[in-house]
């Protein structure tokens, strides 16, 4: 079962909405250092052009995220996750988020194929690491470390910490997925800062990564919804089960 990574107050009163994203809502609490993240059943694609709701999606993502965050914390990757609060809620540490998305690609898929004309399914050795500006109105444009430093989105030290942690996540998770006969194709990470330390925030779920069956290349991620190639929640539950994520009945 899911256990606490850090010790927080046993009872937190849920306050007002601080931020409502595409599939999560963040709430204040009666403790300034902690927030409640609600994983909703909403799904979006193509910068919210395509939208739908899938019963049970938030529950699966909440437990999937908890499983991954705890594995990463155990291997020395600092995360904002504290513990699960309810079937679709988690307690997280409050962070000052950096407006940058870090993407790690082990296999070519999605936007990199369109941008560079790369064949989908090509194994990327060494892996490809990319930065994107977190800005839906601008289409989350591709940026580099010089942009980040020059425009003040993060310091040079923070840039290197994000890069280092993103690659460490890969070293931790790739073998876990491989042991379940799964390919961790790519994933997106977001980081924030607390007490001067860069910490992994947001979530790690099939919403923000691509996961393929190692043999058939069957998809178990949000491409099921993007490309209309299967049932989203069934796919998410299948990959969770293969990884050993304990979902509530």
Which pLDDT does position 1 carry in this prediction? 28
Please state the pTM of the whole predicted model.
0.94
Which pLDDT tens digits describe the chain residue by residue (249 residues)? 233 444 555 679 999 999 999 999 999 999 999 999 999 999 998 877 789 999 999 999 999 999 999 999 999 999 999 999 999 999 999 999 999 999 999 999 999 999 999 999 999 999 999 999 999 899 999 999 999 999 999 999 999 999 999 999 999 999 999 999 999 999 999 999 999 999 999 999 999 999 999 999 999 999 999 999 999 999 999 999 999 999 988
Residue 225 has a CB neighbour count (10 Å cut-off) of 24
Which pLDDT does position 46 carry in this prediction? 81
Does residue 126 have a cis peptide bond before it, meaning omega lies within 30 degrees of 0?
A: yes
**Domains of the chain in sequence order:** 14-93 (3.30.200.20), 96-231 (3.30.470.20)
Write the CB contacts of 102 (distance below 8 Å, at least 6 apart in sequence).
129, 130, 131, 162, 163, 166, 188, 189, 190, 191
Which pLDDT does position 8 carry in this prediction? 55
Strands of 33-181, DSSP E? 34-39, 42-45, 50-53, 81-86, 89-93, 96-107, 123-133, 142-143
Q: Residue 190 — φ and ψ, nearest 5°?
A: -130, 140
Which pLDDT does position 4 carry in this prediction? 40
């Amino acid at each position: 079962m899911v256990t606490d990574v850090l010790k927080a107050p046993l009872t937190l009163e849920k306050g007002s909405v601080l931020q409502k994203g595409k599939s999560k809502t963040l709430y204040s609490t009666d403790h300034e250092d902690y927030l409640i993240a609600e994983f909703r059943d909403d799904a979006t694609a193509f910068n919210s052009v395509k939208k739908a709701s899938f019963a049970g999606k938030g529950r699966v993502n909440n437990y999937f995220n908890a499983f991954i965050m705890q594995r990463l914390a155990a291997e020395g990757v600092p995360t904002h996750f504290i513990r699960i609060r309810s079937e679709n809620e988690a307690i997280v540490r409050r962070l000052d988020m950096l407006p940058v998305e870090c993407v790690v690609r082990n296999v070519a898929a999605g936007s990199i194929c369109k941008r560079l004309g790369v064949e989908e399914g090509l194994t990327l050795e060494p892996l490809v690491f990319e930065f994107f500006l977190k800005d839906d109105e601008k289409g989350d444009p591709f940026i580099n470390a010089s942009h980040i430093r020059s425009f003040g989105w993060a310091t040079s030290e923070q840039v290197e910490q994000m890069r280092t942690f993103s690659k460490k996540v890969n070293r931790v998770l790739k073998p876990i997925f491989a042991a379940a006969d799964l390919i961790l194709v790519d994933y997106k990470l977001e980081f924030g800062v607390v007490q001067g330390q860069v910490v992994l925030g947001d979530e790690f779920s099939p919403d923000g990564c691509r996961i393929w069956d190692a043999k058939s290349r069957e998809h178990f991620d949000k491409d099921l919804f993007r490309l209309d190639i299967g049932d989203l929640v069934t796919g998410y539950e299948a990959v969770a089960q293969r990884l050993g994520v304990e979902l509530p009945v």
